[in-house]
Amino acid sequence: MRPNVNGIGMTSQRTRARLVERLFEQGITDIRVLEVMRTTPRHLFLDEALAHRAYEDASLPIGFNQTLSQPYTVARMTALLLAGGGMKRVLEVGTGSGYQTAVLAQLVEEVYSIERIRPLQERARLRLRELKLHNVTLRHGDGFGGWAAKAPFDGILTTAAPRAVPQELVEQLRVGGRLVIPVGDDRRQQLSVVTRTETGFEVREVEPARFVPLLSGMVR
Ligand code: SAH
């Protein structure tokens, strides 16, 4: 399942190693996540003009007013998801550049990912194909409704923030499954872990966050 990283110079390998050291210092200790982030070429998920900034711990523009999440955020969300255990089938809402998708694809069996902006989805598809990550299924759509035909999921990860936890996403989790999601408005958001229980769900707020909003409708 490892992507082919041919053609990527020593420089980016070294800068990735430094990035991973910084993530560790910031409290990301899940070795599986660190290892995948050390080997995944984040610069391939950016326009050429920005590729040289790929290993800064910063969120970067990907067009259409959207951003590729900061590496710390990708690592944190992935680790929170995996901590749920038994993550085989995972849904991502907000494919964006496809970087978070690529990280997930190397850690779980199957990834389903939805993006509302068609051109972003198409670019992500090419990159994931280039990295030979074939356990990913992409769809152009509005992720507020999840992906009922593929449910139940062991985990769901949302890379844009709704104002409240979307009920439909929780309903597409198996009992014991978890949704990792930023919740709030543009002034205050909390990265949260929502666990589905027999009778409903439980929410744990992890830390303050800053994500683009989860928006309804689709862009062609
Ligand atoms: N994980 C992405 C982050 C992209 S930013 C990356 O690593 O690049 C969040 C993305 O969520 C944007 O691409 C945005 O278009 C998308 N998005 C926002 N609301 C959505 C919705 N309702 N359904 C699907 N995608 C949505």
176-203 pLDDT, tens digit per residue, is 999 999 999 988 999 999 999 999 999 9
Residue 4 lies in a domain: no
When pLDDT is cut at 50, 70 and 90, the band that residue 4 belongs to is very low
Q: Whose CA is nearest to atom 10 of ligand 1?
A: 94
Closest alpha carbon to 87 in 70, 107, 69: 107
* CA–CA separation, 91 and 156 (whole Å): 5
| Residue 218 resides in a domain | no
216 part of a folded domain:
no
Residue list, ligand 1 pocket, CB within 6 Å: 62, 66-69, 93-94, 96-97, 99-100, 114-117, 120, 142-144, 159-160, 212, 214-216
Q: Atom of ligand 1 at shortest distance to CA of 219?
A: 15
- What spacing in Å lies between the alpha carbon of 196 and ligand 1's midpoint? 23
Question: What atom of ligand 1 comes closest to residue 99's alpha carbon?
Answer: 7
Could you tell me the end-to-end alpha-carbon distance of the chain, in angstroms, rounded to an integer? 31
What distance in angstroms lies between residue 94's CA and the mean position of ligand 1's atoms? 3
**Confidence band, pLDDT 50/70/90 cuts, at residue 7:** very low
Q: How confident is the model at residue 135 (pLDDT cuts 50, 70, 90)?
A: very high
In contact, 12 and 55? CB cutoff 8 Å: yes
Q: Tell me the CA–centroid distance for residue 121 and ligand 1, in Å.
A: 9
- 35 found inside a domain: yes
Q: Best mutation site among 68, 76, 81, 117 for ligand 1, i.e. most ligand atoms within 8 A of its Cβ?
A: 117
Residue 60 lies in a domain: yes
Tokens read off for 190: 């909390």
CB neighbours of 178 closer than 8 A, spacing ≥ 6? 80, 81, 84, 155, 156, 193, 194, 195, 196
* Length of the chain, in residues: 220
In a domain, 220, yes or no: no
| Res 10: pLDDT | 58
The parent domain of residue 194 ranges over 9-208
Whether pTM > 0.85 for this model: the answer is: yes
Please state the domain count of the chain.
Answer: 1
124 within a domain of the structure (yes/no): yes
Instruction: Please indicate, yes or no, if residue 185 is contained in any of the structural domains.
Output: yes
CATH number at residue 59: 3.40.50.150
Active site positions, annotated: 69
